[in-house]
A and B are shown apart, each in its own frame.
Chain A
Amino acid sequence: MNFSYAVTAVALVVVATVLVGAFGLRISRTTSDFYVASRTVGPRLNAAAISGEYLSAASFLGIAGLVLVQGPDMLWYPVGYTAGYLVLLLFVAAPLRRSGAYTLPDFAEARLASQGVRRLAGAFVVGVGWLYLLPQLQGAGLTLAVLTDAPDALGGIIVAVVVVATVAAGGMRSITFVQAFQYWLKLTALLVPALFLILAWQGDGAPRQAFDEPATFREQRSVRVKDTLDLRLERPLTVTVSGTVDGRRHDTERVALSAGTHRFERGTRLAFAPGDPVPAAARGAGGGMSTSLATGREERPLYATYGLILATFLGTMGLPHVVVRFYTSPHGVAARRTTVAVLALIGGFYLLPPVYGALGRLYAPELALTGDADAAVLLLPGRMIGGLGGDLLGSLVAGGAFAAFLSTASGLTMAVAGVLTQDVLPSRGVRHFRLGTVLAMAVPLAASVLVGGLPVADAVGLAFAVSASSFCPLLVLGIWWRRLTPPGAAAGMLVGGGSAFLAVAATMAGLPGTGSLHALLAWPALWSVPLGFLTMMLVSLATAARVPPGTAAILARFHLPEELHAEAKA
């Protein structure tokens, strides 16, 4: 793959983002077109902006990588990421907008009139934001490493610097346009190459064994093991090895490997023959990017699937950067229309990554064992088409991937920095916002350099699980249950979100290795979300005397359309 094209594409995306952010459509107008100058953001533009901010590295790279490694089960990811907006539309969108809240802590304060709950919500916003930023930076590092052989951390650092610089300098003034632009850029960057790839696939005779289990090599393929890893074989397999396997040196000789787990030292070169099954990476020492939660799934597939579904369905409403965008809608009805448009835009987008995943299983199955499965989207154009066309398409995809990192990371950074400046750092002012921006980015950047172990889509799944267990109960009960009390809300968030957070931390730290406990900790949503709801309701009922005064009026404002409310007050 030609580096210069890809680097140029990435640089173009960065420059375009900064330019659109700083100057884009901020045209001065005279009074004669006052009407145009003061027009609110329409549902379609806002929906494109929300989608642009939402479609992160997990969507752009991660889903294809997971489908490549684990097959069609992983289609639950795009389904879940999309369906989250359905739940948002049905239960949250319009009342949240009518509450007048800009951030989630604002909502907590508006509903419960409690500074304590506000601060707790702020802490969770920061936690979820950091968890979500982490895979963005890792994904950026991976992308750059695959494209240019740069060190793993460099891409993350570049994204961090660009985002902090633009956000802190106030360069995201016309953020709606930037994000909407990013959405269309990402869609184009996946759609155009996908069309060419499908044509190439057709030209190849449209082979259909994409979802055979396990994936097999279609042609002679040589793989170099970058880091020491364990591979698990379902059946005995004979491969040509030059390097160290299970502690024994081999020098370009055929080795018969028995079924079971084998350790391959770094630098080992393996040559597979056509028709060989692709071995799966096993958990253990030296696990690469895509080992991770896979085994948890294999141990308790049904449990893991439901855990994933619950986390993604209910987690979307608690993502700080998504909630903030609903404030831009002029009223509740517009917020609902926006959500419908988001469903359409995101649904359309999510048709594409599985295509890459399926083609990846056909044409680049060895990615599953080098731990670079997340890079499938980036490598496929070069692999299937090749030549100048492949390079150009590959650089288009790379640019789109960087757009994904930049848009999600900047949205998250702004949300986290906003909470840090408002609720954590001592006083207000522009300087503190800059400090908050740096702080918001520094922590996940440090963590991404240190941790660096989870596949992108999995890490995002964990952020969703925490958000689903803390904010979903707060929002749903806050909007639909009049007996919610501040102590109840605080306890529910602490117990639900806190336990999910601990489970996530244990998983990221690699504790415990296997077994049902691992499955429970790796997919916490299935128990932590009901736990959060239950705690919130029970503690609220126990502290019934603390129902905030004016709850009826607050709920009326949440649920009545604005014009009705204005008339009622007049």
Chain B
Amino acid sequence: MTGFLAGLCVAVLPLLAAGFWLGRRTARPESLGDLGTPVEHATFQTLHTASLAAPSLRAGLTEETARKSARRLRTLLGTDALCLTDQKQVLVWDGVGGHHRGEIMERLAGPLETGRGEAFPLSCATPDCPVRWAVVAPLTVDDRVHGALVACAPRESAVLVRAAGEVARWVSVQLELADLDRSRTRLIEAEIKALRAQISPHFIFNSLAVIASFVRTDPERARELLLEFADFTRYSFRRHGDFTTLADELHAIDQYLALVRARFGDRLSVTLQIAPEVLPVALPFLCLQPLVENAVKHGLEGKADACHIQITAQDAGAEALVVIEDDGVGMDPEELRLILAGEIGPSGGIGLSNVDDRLRQVYGDDHGLVIETAVGAGMKITARVPKYRPGVHSAARLTSE
């Protein structure tokens, strides 16, 4: 019997969980029934119906969104038939009398042109056709007509004309918001493009200078460094794809460090601890190299003895944890906060704030850089990179083994 009960529990638990989730997803404040006067109740009802129609309209006016919202809008207006159109065709016809589609589109040419509402009787051959009369209210975004809301009724009604106008205005506001959403997305995309990492001009100059210094004394070394430099610049100037793999990014860091070591020799030591599991992780292109560059700068700045940099990449469940640590001069946390907030420009290179911005844009605000530092205490930068995020795909193949 205990076996039976336990088996039942095992079966029921996931079902309960699924039910809980479904319930939460579909929960609607239906329990307002006893709240307030009938008028207030009707207001709640109307507002609630409107709020249900809003989310789909916020994605713009398409066949899909029109289909999802039309039923709600018809409830809102209480008509027999409701139709949403764009400038060329009927997107959805909800309710009775679908055979009037063609006629409606013909009669819409005027209102769509002028942007003014209109009400007109429908001519119909069917003797008991339930819709005899239509109200057209145009949907406008920024004074441009995007489509029309058509409400059909058996007879003329001034209330319906007024209501259809109001609903159309509300839908227009939603569509305007959708337009805003779209521009915001475009803005973010443009920002990402603008933020695309660039290697610092100082680095190019310094590298060429150090290579030049080897040309006579050690031509072989100079040649190797030049090749590293060529590889590194090719990686950082490449134009396809916004994302790369951790393996490729580490490869670029290696080339970068080879050039820096040529300049500073023994003063710079680097240790690596990389979990091989996270090497295929896709991440924004050139988002770790600037951190290493920053560590090198801080580590060597203002002190004559050696600097040590530690690069760690750990496997942490569904995320990769990348830590870059130096034992250099560190930084005042307050100043760092200002830099990250964008109030002080970075002194050179791409800077931490750029990397931070890009990580936040791609992975969300809880995936920004975590920086631990104090004056004279070195700096430890932690980046959490999710192993999977929709839309994040490395464009290049991993370096072959």
A residues within 8 Å of B by Cβ?
26-31, 34-35, 37-42, 100-103, 106, 109-110, 113, 119-120, 123, 126-127, 130, 134, 170, 173-176, 327-331, 414, 417-418, 421-422, 424, 427-428, 430, 433, 443, 447, 450-453, 501-502, 504-506, 508-511, 545, 557, 562-563, 565-566, 569-570
Contacts and interface: CB of A to CB of B under 8 A. Distances in A.
Contact of A29 (B241, B251, B271, B277): B271
Contacts of B395: 565-566, 569-570
B280 A328 contact: yes
A509 B11 contact: yes
B143 interface: no
A173 B269 contact: no
B21 A40 contact: no
Interface string B377-395: 0000000000110101111
Interface in B351-401: 366, 387-388, 390, 392-398, 401
Given A29-B273, A41-B276, 20 more contacts: A31-B258, A34-B250, A38-B254, A40-B247, A100-B282, A113-B390, A119-B21, A123-B21, A330-B280, A421-B317, A433-B317, A451-B3, A451-B6, A501-B14, A502-B11, A505-B11, A509-B5, A557-B393, A570-B240, A570-B241
12 contacts: A28-B273, A29-B272, A40-B398, A110-B388, A127-B14, A170-B316, A175-B277, A428-B366, A501-B14, A504-B11, A505-B7, A510-B4
Those 4 A-B pairs whose CB atoms lie nearest each other, nearest first: A505-B11, A509-B7, A450-B6, A508-B7
A110 to B, nearest CB: 6
Contact of B10 (A42, A113, A451, A557): A451
A100 B243 CA distance: 12
B217 interface: no
Given A173-B314, A330-B247, A509 B398 contact: no
Nearest to A172: B315
Contacts of A422: 318
B401 A566 contact: no
A164 B272 CA distance: 29
A501 B21 CA distance: 18
A123 B18 contact: yes
A489 to B, nearest CB: 16
A398 B18 CA distance: 39
Interface string B47-64: 000000000000000011
A508 B10 contact: yes
Contacts of B2: 450
B315 to A, nearest CB: 6
Contacts of A42: 401
Contacts of A421: 317-318
Contacts of B11: 501-502, 504-506, 508-509
Nearest to A43: B401
A557 B390 CA distance: 13
Nearest to B400: A330
B251 A38 contact: yes
Interface in B280-312: 280, 282, 310
Contact of B272 (A38, A120, A562): A38
A106 B390 CA distance: 8
A427 B365 CA distance: 13
Interface of A is mostly: helix
Contacts of B275: 26, 173-174
A329 B397 contact: no
B3 A443 contact: no
Contact of A101 (B258, B315, B316, B388): B388
Contacts of A331: 280, 397-398
Contacts of B150: none
Given A30-B270, A170-B316, A510 B7 contact: yes
Contact of B6 (A40, A175, A176, A447): A447
A453 B2 CA distance: 11
A417 B270 contact: no
Contact of A37 (B241, B274, B314): B274
Contacts of A31: 254, 257-258, 261, 270, 272
B17 interface: yes
Contact of A452 (B3, B254, B394): B3
Contacts of B310: 28
A174 B273 CA distance: 11
B279 interface: yes
A136 to B, nearest CB: 15
B125 interface: no
A450 B6 CA distance: 6
B27 interface: no
B387 A327 contact: yes
Contacts of A100: 282, 388, 392-394
Interface centre among A38, A39, A451, A509 (most CB of B within 10 A): A38
Nearest to B254: A34
Interface in B233-253: 239-241, 245, 247, 250-251
B32 interface: no
A328 B276 contact: yes
A526 to B, nearest CB: 21
B152 to A, nearest CB: 24
Given A42-B401, A505-B10, A566-B395, A103 B388 contact: yes
Contact of B17 (A113, A123, A433, A563): A123
Contacts of B279: 38-41, 330
A378 to B, nearest CB: 25
A510 B3 contact: yes
B194 interface: no
B9 interface: yes
Contacts of B240: 566, 569-570
Contacts of A37: 272-274
Interface centre among A34, A424, A508 (most CB of B within 10 A): A34
Nearest to B312: A28
Nearest to A448: B6
Given A28-B271, A510-B4, A557-B393, A447 B282 contact: no
A443 B250 CA distance: 41
B13 interface: yes
A511 B276 contact: no
Contacts of A451: 3, 6-7, 10
A134 B318 CA distance: 24
A50 to B, nearest CB: 12
B162 to A, nearest CB: 34
Contacts of A443: 13
Contacts of B280: 40, 327-331
Given A29-B271, A330-B279, A173 B315 contact: yes
Contacts of B258: 31
A509 B4 contact: yes
A33 to B, nearest CB: 9
Given A37-B272, A505-B8, A509-B8, A328 B18 contact: no
A34 B4 contact: no
A30 B240 CA distance: 32
Nearest to B11: A505
A197 B282 CA distance: 50
B10 A176 contact: no
A106 B319 CA distance: 13
A249 B5 CA distance: 33
Interface centre among B6, B8, B64 (most CB of A within 10 A): B6
A422 B319 CA distance: 11
